[in-house]
Structure 1
Amino acid sequence: MPEVPGVQALLDFLLGIPEVVAYALIALGSALENIFPPIPSDTFVVLGAVLADRGSLEPAGVLLAAWAANTGGALCIFGLARRHGPAMFRTRWGRRLLRPHQLDRMSRFYERHGLWAIFLSRCLPVLRVIVPTFAGFASLGAVRALVPLVTASLLWNALMVAGGILASRNVDRLFDLLGRVNAWLLVVAAIVLGVVLGWWIRSRREEREEREEREEEE
């Protein structure tokens, strides 16, 4: 099994810094994923779990820092999207992304399936940022978004902490496994995005055909 370059050096560095700084780095990494999805928040959580197993941090502290920061960041993005999204989609550039009838359909989807869509998306890279953001664009109720987002983030981060603690003595294999799991989750996310893109194209084509039919009737 190949070793992950620099992992031990990074762990040695983290073991040597004050606990409060280590917690802050875990929180920062978990929060920034909501702004820049390629940042691997899971890696920060697993690193924190390894530190907890080696006596530097507390497992509950790692979980709380990661969960609060990741959830708080997602809720901030959701709130901004909910507040400014409807106005943005009335602009010319916003209508290029989503036409009014597409926004209406998306709102109906979130009203019916928003809870499960948000809950499941928190386990998938990239989608864990996109789905809550578009829930805000669709003006989903804050409570309906809050419940699945908070619950799923807690469960996922708890799984990462538990896995990190159990496998911390074989850290190279742990990060190799994490990379493989995230790669497969990215494949799943890409398939879901492909389905969404297909819907976007099809709904645009249907709108155009309906408009052409009305023009012919007139």
Structure 2
Amino acid sequence: MQSIIDWIVNLMEVLGAPGVGIAILLENLFPPIPSEVVLPLAGFTVAQGSLNFLSVFIWSVVGSVLGAYVLYGIGAWLGLARLRAIADWMWLVKASDVDAAMSFFTKYGKPSIFFGRLIPGVRSLISIPAGLDRMNLVTFGLWTTLGSGIWNAILIYLGFILGDNWEKATEYADTYSNVIYAILALIILGFLIFFIRRAIKERGQAQA
């Protein structure tokens, strides 16, 4: 983690606020670079007077949105046909499960993009189903900007007000993330149980 912090500090020293945007862009694509470290550190740098709060915020949102569009493109490239084929190949999952998930996303896609940007572990991945669904690019960008703006502003502000203790903001974010991960794990477990029970039931019907 220290090497990541050193790299971020060097990036901000060389490029200023755009360096924050680049770090957040990469964070969307490479999870080992966590926004929970980048943004509070940027806020601390603002508190020192080295950077401007507004410029840091704007560049961080630009990085978030650009990263989201890259993942949207991956989803659009993958396409529903490929995803259905993958689902048919996988154990327990069916192409119909993909259809059901995409039907849900089509109905609730807009709020899913917004709230997804506030959920660790989902923040980046939520862009992929948007690409699969071919959500309107402007609509996708607006909801991504709004959700990312809230998340980024909170973490930058925490780093700003905590000053030398900016790492506490990372601790707060980690605590929040752990709660979310526990909830997601329970949801995944629930789906896994459903898929297993369905497979057992269908096998029983086939043998009857």
The reply to whether TM is greater than 0.5 is: yes
Matched, 1:69 2:63: yes
Q: What is the aligned length?
A: 205
1:160 paired to 2:155: yes
Q: Which residue identity is paired with 1:17?
A: E
- The one-letter code sitting in structure 1 at the alignment partner of 2:102 is S
Matches of 2:11 and 2:95 in 1, distance apart? 53
The within-5 A match list for 1:1-218 is: 14=10, 17-18=13-14, 21-92=15-86, 95-96=89-90, 98-137=93-132, 139-143=133-137, 144-168=139-163, 171-172=164-165, 174-203=166-195, 205-206=197-198, 209-210=201-202, 213=205, 215=206
Shift of 1:81: 0.8
What SS is found at the alignment partner of 2:172? helix
TM-score (norm 1): 0.76
Q: Which runs of 5+ in 2 are unaligned?
A: none
Q: Is the 8 A contact 1:127 1:189 kept in 2?
A: no
- Using the alignment, how far apart are the partners of 1:197 and 1:38 within structure 2? 25
Alpha-carbon spacing, 1:42–1:94, altered in 2? closer, same or farther (3 Å): farther
Mark the runs of 5 or more structure 1 residues left unpaired by the alignment: none
**CA separation of 1:198/1:135 partners in 2, compared to 1, >3 Å: closer, same or farther?**
farther
Kept after mapping to 2: 8 A contact 1:89/1:95: no
Letter in 1 for 2:101: M
Q: Which string of whole-angstrom CA distances, capped at 9 and with x for unpartnered residues, describes residues 6-50 of structure 1?
A: 9xx959x659934xx133431222112222223212321222222
- Mapped partners of 1:116, 1:133: distance in 2: 15
State how far apart, in whole Å, the 2-side matches of 1:161 and 1:116 are. 24
Post-superposition Cα deviations, 1:134-183, rounded to whole Å, max 9, x if no partner, equal 3434x151345333222100111122222222222xx22x3124223323
Q: Distance in 2 between matches of 1:193 and 1:132?
A: 20
Structure 1 counterpart of 2:114, one-letter code:
F
Moved more, 21-30 or 70-79: 21-30
CA distance in 2, matches of 1:15, 1:153: 21
How has the CA–CA distance of structure 1 residues 59 and 79 changed in structure 2, closer, same or farther, with 3 Å as cutoff? same
